[in-house]
Each structure stands twice: as C-alpha cells, then as structure tokens.
Amino acid sequence: MTTHSSPNHVFVLMGVSGSGKSAVANAVAHQLKAAFLDGDFLHPRANIEKMSEGHPLNDDDRRPWLEAINDAAFAMQRTNSVSLIVCSALKKSYRDILRKGNKNLSFVYLKGDFDTIEERLRARKGHFFKPQMLVTQFATLEEPASDEKDVLVVDINQSLDEVVAATLSSIDGATEKNK
C-alpha cells in the first residue's frame, strides 16, 4: 500500500525514556496547533496486561502496536497539516514499520547522552526511577544512521524551551522542503 503525496506531514518524536518526547511533543503541538497522539495509547490489551505483570515486551508483541501507530499516522496526515506522535522507535526495524507506505512521515530523534537523561529521570517528581530501565533502553537503541534520510536530530542537552525551539525549527525546515 502506498500513500498519495500530500502536503500534510506526521512527525514521530523518538528517543529513549526520559529524552523528553512527551513534554516536547505537547509544547510543539500547542504552538503549531497540531494533532498529537501518544503512541502508548495504541498498545493492544495483551501488551498492557503483559507490561502490568512486569514482563518486558518482545518484537512480536510490538509489531501489532507499531502497525497500529502506522495506521494512525496515515489517518492523521489525511486531515492535519502537521501531526505529532510520541513513540520511542528505538530500533530501525520499528522505524521501518512506522514509515511503511507513508512518504509523509519523518522522525525527530531527541538525542541525549546517558548521564543527561539519567539526571532528568532522577529529578522527575512522582516518578520512581529504575536505573536498569535506562540501561536497557540505551542497549536497545539503534541510533538512526545516514541511510535514514527521514530522521531529524535534535540535541536535548539544553533547556526544554531550547529543545522545543530546535524541534519547531526542524519541523519547519522539513515541511518547507516538502512544499
């Protein structure tokens, strides 16, 4: 299935837990009056039950979830000039599922080093930080390489306002290029 060319665009904000995906997406969506979806809301019941029992998801568990996000991205771009989806998309194979058949989808990789993200996670109010979770996230992360032309990189080693501004600038550049 291929999509028809459209001026509308979907941006998946990706990165490890604690990189600021939700905070950045919320701020950017507000400023752009863009549609926004947290990809975690699309997990099937079986995944939610598995995670709530303390079991990690495997790639087979993630596939229907990633396909649901791909479907949501396709639907969102039909009616919104800019849409944002939050999804960690840590592996290239995950990003390939997300981008399948949608030439109007790009990724914004919120890139940060382990120490910066660990410090931010420890500072979160009302959030129980498990250091092993971050270790696992970085071990799983396959950073986008130069062959992934649809990935915009934003350095998160700056204030939230600066990260939001850099993300807005990246999105503006990508949408201008597609006009």
Q: What tens digit of pLDDT does each residue of 42-53 get?
A: 999 999 999 888
Confirm whether 4 is domain-assigned: no
- 148 token code pair: 């992934």
Q: What angle do CA 97, 98, 100 make, to 5 degrees?
A: 65
In a domain, 103, yes or no: yes
- Does 3 fall in a domain? no
Residue 2 in any domain: the answer is no
DSSP state of 30: H
Q: What is the pLDDT of residues 120-168, one digit of tens each?
A: 888 876 666 677 788 999 999 999 999 999 999 999 999 999 999 999 9
> What CATH code is carried by the domain that includes residue 96?
3.40.50.300
pLDDT at residue 128, as a whole number: 61
Q: Which domain holds residue 52?
A: 9-177
Q: How far is CA 13 from CA 21, 52, 70, in A?
A: 6, 24, 14
Q: How many domains does the chain have?
A: 1
Any domain includes 25 = yes
CB 167 within 8 A of CB 28: yes
Each residue of 101-115: b (16+ CB within 10 Å) or e?
ebebbbbbbbbbeee
Band the pLDDT of 2: cuts 50, 70, 90.
Answer: very low
E strand or H helix at 108 = strand 105-111
Domain assignment present for 1:
no
The reported pLDDT for the residue numbered 120 is 87
